[in-house]
Structure 1
Amino acid sequence: MHLSSSALVALAAAGVLAAGVLMGGCSSTSALALKEGDCFLYPDEGDTEISDVTTKACTEEHDAEIIGVTTVDGDEMPQSDALDAQAQDDCLAAFQDYVGTAYEDSTLGLTWLVPTQDSWDKADDREIVCVALTSDGSSLTSSVKDSRL
Structure 2
Amino acid sequence: MRQAHRAVVLGAAGLLLVGPLLAGCSEASFYEMSGMVYRDPGGTITVGGELDVFDLVVGDCFADDEGDGGPDADGRVSSVRAIPCDDPHPYEVFHVFSLPWQPYPGDDAVVQAADDGCYAEFADFVGQPYEDSSVDFSYFTPLEGEWKGGRHDRMVQCFVIPSGDVSGTLADSGREAS
CA deviations 1:50-78 (Å, max 9, x no partner) are 11111111110111000101110123222
The alpha-carbon deviation at position 36 of structure 1 amounts to 0.6
Corresponding pairs, count:
130
> Which of 62, 83, 91 is the equivalent residue of 1:56?
83
2:113 equivalent to 1:86:
yes
CA RMSD of aligned residues (A): 2.3
Q: Distance in 1 between matches of 2:95 and 2:140?
A: 11
Partner of residue 142, structure 1? 168
* TM-score, with length taken from structure 2: 0.65
Q: Which runs of 5+ in 1 are unaligned?
A: 1-5, 10-21
Partners in 1 of 2:97 and 2:139 — Cα distance?
11
Which has the greater radius of gyration?
2
Q: Does the 8 Å contact 1:8/1:109 carry over to 2? A: no
Same amino acid, percent of matched pairs: 27
CA contact (8 A) 1:67 1:130 kept: yes
Report the TM-score, using the length of structure 1 for normalisation. 0.77
For residue 34 of structure 1, what is the amino acid of its counterpart? L
Displacement of 1:100 in angstroms is: 1.0
Displacement, 1:46?
A: 5.6
The 5-angstrom pairing of residues 30-45 of structure 1 reads: 30-43=52-65
Counterpart in the other structure of 1:14: none
Unaligned runs of 5+ in 2: 8-34, 36-45
Residue 80 of structure 1: how far off its partner (Å): 1.1
CA contact (8 A) 2:71 2:77 kept: no
